[in-house]
Amino acid sequence: MADISRYTIEYRVLAAAWYFECDRSIAAVKLLKTKLRERYGIEPPDARVITAWTDKLFSTGSILDRKRDGRPSERGDVSENVMDSLENHPTMSVRRRSDELGMSKSTVHRVLKVDMKLHPYKQVKVQFLSEVDREVRIEACRSILGKYDNELRRDKLLFSDECAVYAEGHPRAKQIFFWSKQNPFFFDQVRNHPPQVMIFAAMSSKHLIGPFFLEGRVTATAYISMLRNELLPELVRRGIDNSAHFQQDGAPAHTALITRNFLNRHFPDRWVGKFGPTNWPPRSPDLSSCDNALWGLLKPKIESKRAETVADLKQAIIDEFKTFDDRRVLEQIHRRSFKRMHLCIEHEGYQVEPFDQ
């Protein structure tokens, strides 16, 4: 297969060599890109592309892709045209690509799937991270990993979060399509205002605490009331009130002065959050156990029960929390969150989902 990258072999080899020699900090990568821009007069690729070039060069000894196995395509120039189009517009739909190339949709699809052995991947939307955000994420992860530098200390940290749970999934959930030769008259009845509740949970490698239900808007007063009347008594009941460490994100109710004063009294030097003894980075749900695992595992099961009332929905949530409280699963999720902090540092503060497979 022809090498159709806009970056020459010399460019990629030099970029990989320079990247291999630098310390891979954000400042070093910016300097590297400046040098490439001045030398070649084109905009350098994302740091993740240069990382891939470096890994390929120093693991295989070549910057080129390996020759694909299997019978070569008999479509000749057709394949080349599709490949050129893909290089210039990787996110274009098959239908639009076929229109622009003057080919049938099935031909373009065969080239992509059979000749090029490609697979379509759905775009995942994540929160925008500025360069400052990424620097803060790196520093916060280093601080957290430095403080919780062994398994015994990490086991004490409770990740926490609030989440809105709907009886039938979020009203703006994506439409489901039914593929058929004939109209199956496939429909699903939905309610305009299905029951919903706001819940709070905290989890470590040994404990799943909650759910605690929050009524109305989550204000600092409501949040502190829940912590005082529900979380703290539960920590006392489990015998970890004097040893547990507490993590929270940067929601307004969490960062209010009265909330921070409350946490400083009850978790002195034992809480992680914005303005806390140990900082938690902004826009980082990918690093928290509740956001990156708990809600995604629990919500589909809860929503599948299609509760008729708020009381039914609350009971469904309580039931699912009981079945989920498995020590082995909790340990896996907890280790994964700390692994993600390492990945965040390694990948310059970017979201870690693509690297945590």
* Angstrom distance (rounded) from CA 276 to CA 269: 8
What's the pLDDT at 6? 67
* CB-CB neighbours of 200 under 10 Å: 22
What's the pLDDT at 163? 93
Residue 290, token pair as written in the block:
């509740």
pLDDT surpassing 60 at residue 314:
yes
What's the pLDDT at 298? 93
Percent of the chain at pLDDT > 90 equals 48
**CA of residue 181 relative to chain centroid, distance:** 37
Residue 355, token pair as written in the block:
């690297």
Q: What is the mean pLDDT of residues 21-35?
A: 85
pLDDT in tens, 173-201: 545 444 545 555 544 555 555 678 999 99
Question: 172 with 53, same domain?
Answer: no
pLDDT grade, residue 77 (50/70/90)?
low
Residue 342 belongs to domain with CATH number:
3.30.420.10
- pLDDT, mean over the chain: 85
pLDDT grade, residue 1 (50/70/90)?
very low
Q: Is 119 a domain residue?
A: no
Q: Omega of the bond prior to 233 within 30 degrees of 0, cis? A: no
pLDDT grade, residue 98 (50/70/90)?
confident
Checking phi first, is residue 134 left (phi over 0); if not, alpha (psi -120 to 50) or beta? alpha
Q: Is 117 a domain residue?
A: no
pLDDT surpassing 50 at residue 71:
no
How many domains does the chain contain in total?
Answer: 2
The listed range with the strongest mean pLDDT (66-75, 123-132, 318-327) is 318-327
Tell me which residue range forms the domain holding 188: 132-355
Out of 40, 60, 80, pick the residue that ends a domain. Answer: 60
Higher local confidence (pLDDT), 81 or 333? 333
Question: 53 with 186, same domain?
Answer: no
Question: 24 with 172, same domain?
Answer: no
Out of 39, 60, 81, pick the residue that ends a domain. Answer: 60
* Angstrom distance (rounded) from CA 332 to CA 157: 14
Q: Is 122 a domain residue?
A: no
pLDDT in tens, 250-292: 999 999 999 999 999 999 999 999 999 999 999 999 999 999 9
Q: Which residues pair with 209 in a beta bridge?
A: 202
Higher local confidence (pLDDT), 11 or 219? 219
